C-alpha cells in the first residue's frame, strides 16, 4: 500500500497545489490568494459565491480593484506592503467589503503569508460571510479566531489513517485538543488511543465510509486537561491511496450555546423548573404512556395564596426569592418520575403518572399542602405562604392536555373559594360554573355597545325627617342570551377582565346626567353615591373622567359621593393614595363602604380623609335581635361622628331597625323599607310623590 506525507496528500488528493487542497471543495468560506503585487493568484468557489466574481474575472486583478471599498484601499495597500516588506502581520478582523455589484459584504477575514519555492511571498485571505453567521447567533457562537492562517490559524485537527484505523500522520494548529501526545498515537490504531465508547463511534463511522464511499459527520466528547470538550469529526475516504482523512473540530462553544438555548426554551429562567412548553409536552407523553398501561395521570394546578401582597408590600426581589424557595420545596417533595413546572407568575404544575387509585392522588395533594406549612425565611423575614391546589385526573376528567389543564385550573379556583390552603378535585359542577363564567364574560364584552346596561337608583333618606337626600347608583344588566345577570355575578368578572373601567365610566356619566335632571326637575340639591372598584383606581384617567362628567352634567363636586370599599385600600399601592388625594382636591365626597366587614377599617379612617361612613347591611340586619351587632353599629356611629363623618346605614328593611338607628344617632338610611332600586323615570316619579307627602 502506498503512503504519502501530509503535503503530498494536500497536493494530490484534492488539487495539484499544496495550499489549495483544503478549500477547492469548500464553498462555505471564501479563500483568495494574492502575490506581492496584490494580484489574485487563487480564487475558490466560496469567493465566487460571496463576492460574485468568477475565477476567470478575478485572477490577475488587484485586491483593491475587486472587493476593497475606496475608503479602505490605501490602508489595504499599505498593510499588504508592510507585511511583505517588514513582516508586520495583518490581524484577523470583522470588515465590510464590496461584492461585484458594489453591495456591502460583512466578513470575518483571516490572513496568512507564505513564501513559495521561488522565494516569492503570497498572501492568502480566508473570509467567512458574517451575514449567515449573525443569523445563526441564537444557535452558535462564532469562533473569534476560526482561521488565523491556512494551517496554523485553523483550530481543526487532521488525521490520516489506514483502513485498519492505524494513525499514520496528523496535523494540529494547536495541540491542546489532542487526547494524547503525538508520540503516543502515531502508528497505533484508534481503539488503542481513545476511550472505548469514542473509539467504537469512530470504528462504526469509518466502516460506513468504506462501505458506502461517502463522507460522514458525527459528534463525541472527551475529558481533556482543560475540561470536558465536545468535538465534531468529519471522515472522508481517499480511495486512490486507500487512506482515510479525519478532520476534527472543537464544538464545545457551539454545544454550550445550544444547551443554553435549550435551557432558555424549555426551562423557567427564575426557578430552573420546566416551563409551560416543556411541562405540557411531558404531560402529553404521560397521557400516551398511561393509555397504553391503563394507568391514571394526575395534574395538580398550584397557586400561591396572597402572593401578590408579598410582591406589592415587600417588592419583586423578595417575591422572586419566595418563588425560588417554593420551587425547591416542590421539587424535593415529588417522586423522580414526576414533573413539577412553573407556568408563570405564582402558578406551578405538578404532573404525576403511574397512579392506580384516588387515595394515592389525595396523599400527594395533602403532602404538597404540608410542605408549605413551614414558614419561609426570606431576607430576615418570616413569611407564611399557603397553597391552593386543583386536581384533574386522566382519564376521568379528560384525556387531552388542554382539557386536563383547564379542569385543574377550575378546581384550583374552587379550592380558593374553600378558604385557600386547600385542595379540590375537578367536578362537572365546576365545569358548568366555568362555562357560565365564560359566557358572561363573552356577552359582557360588547354589552355597552348594545346598550344592555341600565343604571337603577335607590333613594337615601334623612333618618329623622325621612326626607330624600340623595341616591345610590346601582348597575343592572339584561342580556338577550343570558337574561338578567345579577351584579354579584358580573361585577367580579368585569373587575378581573378590566371591563369595569369603561363600564364604571358609563355609570359615572349616566348617574351624574340623571342627577342634573333630578335636581332641575325637583329644584332641590341631592347627592349621588357611586361605587368605585379597585381596578378603576388603576386607570390613569380616573380623575379626568370624573371631572369631565361633573362639568358635562353642570354639577358641583360635592354632589358626587364616591363609595370605596376596604378592599381598595388594602392593596397599599401609591396610586390609590394619589387618586384619593386627587379626588379630595377635586371636592367630591368620599365614603367608606361596608364598614366593619374588614380588619383595618379604623386605620384607614385615620389615614384618609373620608366624609361618610357606610355601615354594612349585615350589621343592620342583626341590630333588632343581636346585642353585639347593635353595639358594633353604635360604636361605628360614635367613631364616625367623633371624626366629623356622616353615617349611612344600608339594608334597612323594617321599622324597628329604623327606630334603633334613630336612637343611635345614624344620619342617613336606605333599604327596602323605603324602596328597592328603580329605573330613572320610576325613581323620579317616586321621589316627586314622596316629597309631596306630608
pLDDT, mean of residues 436-462: 93
The C-alpha atoms of residue 249 and residue 144 are separated, in whole angstroms, by 14
Q: Is the pLDDT of residue 691 over 70?
A: no
Angle 182-188-190 from CA coordinates, rounded to 5°: 95
Concatenate the DSSP letters of all residues of 422-491 into one string.
EEEE--HHHHHHHHHHHHHHHHHTTTTTTT-EEEEEEEEEETTT--EEEEEEEEEEEETTTEEE-HHHHH
Residue with cell 355597545: 449
Beta carbons of 473 and 507 less than 8 angstroms apart: yes
Least-confidence region, from 78-82, 420-424, 450-454, 501-505: 420-424
Would you say residue 14 has pLDDT above 50? no
Sole residue written with cell 494530490? 12
Domains within the chain, CATH numbers bracketed: 6-135 (3.30.450.20), 157-257 (3.30.450.20), 272-426 (3.30.70.270), 440-683 (3.20.20.450)
pLDDT of 41 > 50? The answer is yes
**Is the pLDDT score of 93 beyond 50?**
yes
Tell me the three-class secondary structure of 196-213, residue by residue. HHHHHHHHHHHHHHHHHC
CA 310 from chain centre, in angstroms, equals: 19
- What Cα–Cα distance (Å) separates residue 121 from each residue in 36, 58, 80, 87, 152? 6, 19, 11, 11, 17
Res 27 pLDDT > 80: no
Q: pLDDT for 268-281, tens place per residue?
A: 889 989 988 889 99
Name 360's bridge partners: none
Place of cell 471564501: 30
131 has a pLDDT exceeding 50:
yes
Q: Please state, in angstroms and rounded to a whole number, the distance separating the CA atoms of residues 44 and 380.
A: 67
Which of the four pLDDT bands, split at 50, 70 and 90, describes residue 570? low
> Which residue, among 19, 125, 130, has the nearest Cα to 79 in the 3D structure?
125
Yes or no: say if 104 and 67 are a contact pair by the CB < 8 Å rule. no
Kindly report which listed range (23-37, 227-241, 329-343, 418-432) carries the lowest average pLDDT score: 418-432
Q: What is the pLDDT of residue 34?
A: 92
Query: Is 50 exceeded by the pLDDT of residue 66?
Result: yes
Give the pLDDT score at 455.
Answer: 97
Cβ–Cβ under 8 Å, residues 545 and 505: yes
d(CA 522, CA 295): 74
The yes-or-no verdict on residue 594 having pLDDT over 80 is: no
pLDDT in tens, 111-127: 988 887 778 888 999 98
Q: What does the pLDDT average to over 230-240?
A: 89
Percent of the chain with pLDDT over 70: 89
Whether 9 shows a pLDDT value over 60: the answer reads: no
- pLDDT at position 133 is 61
What share of the chain has pLDDT > 90, as a percent? 43
pLDDT at 17 over 70: no
Lowest-pLDDT range of 266-280, 283-297, 567-581, 657-671 = 567-581
- The grid cell for 281 is 409536552
| pLDDT digits 0-9 by tens, 497-544 | 889 999 999 999 999 999 999 999 999 999 999 999 888 988 889 999
Q: What is the pLDDT of residue 479?
A: 94
Scanning 246-380, the segments in alpha helix (DSSP H) are 252-266, 276-293, 307-314, 316-333, 358-371
Per-residue model confidence (pLDDT) at position 7 = 38
- Least confident segment among 135-139, 171-175, 660-664: 135-139
- Above 50 in pLDDT, residue 141? no
pLDDT for 590 beyond 90: yes
CA distance 141 to 108: 13
Q: Are 488 and 512 in contact (CB under 8 A)?
A: no
Confidence of residue 423 (pLDDT cuts 50, 70, 90): confident
Closest residue by Cα to residue 108 from 126, 136, 128, 79? 128
What is each CA distance from 73 to 33, 76, 137, 370, in whole angstroms?
17, 5, 30, 75
Per-residue pLDDT averaged across 325-335, rounded? 90
Q: Return all residues near 369 (Cβ < 8 A) that are at least 6 apart.
A: 386, 387, 389, 421, 422, 423
pLDDT of residue 537: 87
How high is the pLDDT of residue 468?
95
pLDDT level of residue 550 (50, 70, 90 thresholds): very high
Average pLDDT, integer, range 162-175: 83
**What's the rounded Cα separation, in Å, for the pair 145 and 109?**
9
Q: Select the highest-mean-pLDDT range: 312-316, 463-467, 594-598.
A: 463-467
pLDDT at residue number 599: 46
Q: What is the pLDDT of residues 600-618, one digit of tens each?
A: 456 677 777 889 999 988 8
- Render pLDDT for 255-264 as a digit per residue (tens, 0 to 9): 777 767 676 7
The pTM (predicted TM-score) of the whole model is 0.50
Q: Work out whether strand 589-595 and strand 612-615 pair parallel, antiparallel, or are unpaired.
A: parallel
- What are the C-alpha distances in Å from 74 to residues 60, 64, 70, 126? 19, 9, 8, 21
| Nearest CA among 58, 45, 159 for reference residue 100 | 58
Distance CA 650, CA 672 (A): 9
Backbone angles phi and psi of 364, in degrees to 5 = -65, -45
Angle (nearest 5°) at CA 530 between 511 and 670: 100
Residues 6+ apart with CB under 8 A from 533: 491, 494, 495, 500, 504, 568
What the block records as the C-alpha cell of 409 is 385550573
Q: Which residue intervals of 523-600 are DSSP H helices?
A: 534-537, 542-553, 566-570, 574-586
Per residue in 181-225, pLDDT (tens digit) is 888 888 888 888 898 998 899 999 989 988 888 889 999 888 888
What's the CA gap between 352 and 332, in Å, rounded? 14
The pLDDT mean for the chain works out to: 85
pLDDT, tens digit, 9 for 90 and up, residues 280-297 = 999 999 998 888 888 889
Amino acid at each position: 500500500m502506498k503512503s504519502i506525507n501530509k503535503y503530498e496528500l494536500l497536493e494530490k488528493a484534492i488539487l495539484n497545489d499544496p495550499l489549495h487542497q483544503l478549500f477547492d471543495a469548500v464553498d462555505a468560506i471564501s479563500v483568495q490568494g494574492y502575490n506581492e503585487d496584490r494580484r489574485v493568484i487563487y480564487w475558490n468557489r466560496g469567493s465566487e459565491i460571496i463576492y460574485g466574481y468568477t475565477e476567470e474575472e478575478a485572477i490577475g486583478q488587484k485586491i483593491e480593484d475587486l472587493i476593497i471599498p475606496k475608503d479602505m484601499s490605501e490602508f489595504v495597500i499599505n498593510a499588504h506592503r508592510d507585511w511583505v516588506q517588514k513582516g508586520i502581520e495583518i490581524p484577523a478582523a470583522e470588515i465590510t467589503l464590496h461584492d461585484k455589484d458594489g453591495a456591502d459584504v460583512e466578513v470575518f477575514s483571516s490572513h496568512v503569508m507564505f513564501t513559495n519555492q521561488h522565494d516569492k511571498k503570497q498572501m492568502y485571505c480566508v473570509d467567512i460571510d458574517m451575514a449567515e453567521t449573525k443569523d445563526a447567533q441564537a444557535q452558535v457562537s462564532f469562533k473569534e479566531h476560526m482561521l488565523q492562517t491556512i494551517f496554523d490559524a485553523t483550530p481543526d485537527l487532521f488525521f490520516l489513517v489506514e483502513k485498519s484505523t492505524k494513525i499514520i500522520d496528523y496535523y494540529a494548529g494547536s495541540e491542546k485538543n489532542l487526547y494524547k501526545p503525538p508520540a503516543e498515537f502515531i502508528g497505533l490504531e484508534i481503539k488503542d488511543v481513545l476511550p472505548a465508547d469514542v473509539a467504537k463511534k469512530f470504528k462504526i463511522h469509518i466502516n460506513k465510509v468504506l462501505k458506502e464511499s461517502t463522507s460522514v459527520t458525527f459528534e463525541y466528547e472527551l475529558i481533556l486537561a482543560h475540561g470536558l470538550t465536545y468535538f465534531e469529526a468529519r471522515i472522508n475516504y481517499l480511495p486512490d491511496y486507500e487512506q482515510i482523512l479525519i478532520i476534527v473540530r472543537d464544538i464545545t462553544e457551539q454545544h454550550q450555546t445550544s444547551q443554553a438555548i435549550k435551557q432558555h426554551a424549555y426551562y423557567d429562567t427564575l426557578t430552573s423548573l420546566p416551563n409551560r412548553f416543556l411541562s405540557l409536552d411531558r404531560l402529553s407523553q404521560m397521557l400516551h404512556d398511561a393509555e397504553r398501561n391503563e394507568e391514571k395521570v394526575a395534574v395538580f394546578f398550584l397557586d400561591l395564596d396572597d402572593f401578590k401582597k408579598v410582591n406589592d408590600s415587600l417588592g419583586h426581589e423578595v417575591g422572586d426569592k419566595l418563588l425560588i424557595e417554593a420551587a425547591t420545596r416542590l421539587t424535593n417533595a415529588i417522586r423522580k418520575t414526576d414533573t413539577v413546572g412553573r407556568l408563570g407568575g405564582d402558578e406551578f404544575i405538578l404532573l404525576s403518572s403511574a397512579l392506580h387509585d384516588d387515595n394515592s392522588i389525595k396523599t400527594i395533594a395533602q403532602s404538597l399542602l404540608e410542605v408549605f406549612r413551614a414558614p419561609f425565611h426570606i431576607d430576615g423575614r418570616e413569611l407564611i405562604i399557603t397553597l391552593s391546589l386543583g386536581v384533574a385526573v386522566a382519564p376521568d376528567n379528560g384525556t387531552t392536555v388542554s382539557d386536563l389543564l383547564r379542569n385543574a385550573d377550575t378546581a384550583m379556583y374552587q379550592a380558593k373559594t374553600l378558604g385557600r390552603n386547600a385542595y379540590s378535585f375537578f367536578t362537572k359542577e365546576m365545569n358548568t360554573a366555568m362555562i357560565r363564567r365564560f359566557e358572561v364574560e363573552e356577552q359582557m364584552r360588547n354589552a355597552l355597545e348594545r346598550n344592555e346596561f341600565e343604571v337603577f337608583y335607590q333613594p337615601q333618606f334623612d333618618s329623622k325627617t325621612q326626607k330624600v337626600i340623595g341616591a345610590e347608583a346601582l348597575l343592572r344588566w339584561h342580556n338577550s342570551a343570558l337574561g338578567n345577570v345579577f351584579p354579584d355575578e358580573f361585577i367580579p368578572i368585569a373587575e378581573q377582565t378590566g371591563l369595569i373601567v369603561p363600564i364604571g365610566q358609563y355609570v359615572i356619566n349616566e348617574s351624574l346626567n340623571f342627577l342634573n335632571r333630578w335636581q332641575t326637575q325637583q329644584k332641590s340639591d341631592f347627592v349621588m353615591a357611586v361605587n368605585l372598584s379597585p381596578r378603576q383606581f388603576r386607570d390613569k384617567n380616573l380623575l379626568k373622567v370624573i371631572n369631565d362628567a361633573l362639568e358635562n352634567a353642570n354639577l358641583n363636586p360635592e354632589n358626587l359621593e364616591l363609595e370605596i370599599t376596604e378592599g381598595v385600600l388594602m392593596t397599599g399601592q401609591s396610586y390609590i393614595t394619589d387618586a384619593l388625594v386627587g379626588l379630595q382636591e377635586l371636592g367630591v365626597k368620599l365614603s367608606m363602604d361596608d364598614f366593619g366587614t374588614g380588619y383595618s377599617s379604623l386605620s384607614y379612617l385615620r389615614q384618609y380623609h373620608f366624609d361618610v361612613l357606610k355601615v354594612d347591611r349585615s350589621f343592620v340586619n342583626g341590630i333588632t335581635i343581636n346585642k353585639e351587632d347593635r353595639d358594633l353599629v353604635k360604636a361605628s356611629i360614635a367613631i364616625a361622628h367623633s371624626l366629623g363623618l356622616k353615617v349611612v346605614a344600608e339594608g334597612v328593611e323594617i321599622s324597628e331597625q329604623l327606630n334603633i338607628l334613630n336612637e343611635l344617632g345614624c344620619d342617613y338610611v336606605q333599604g327596602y323599607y323605603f324602596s328597592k332600586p328603580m329605573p330613572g323615570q320610576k325613581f323620579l316619579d317616586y321621589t316627586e310623590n314622596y316629597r309631596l307627602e306630608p
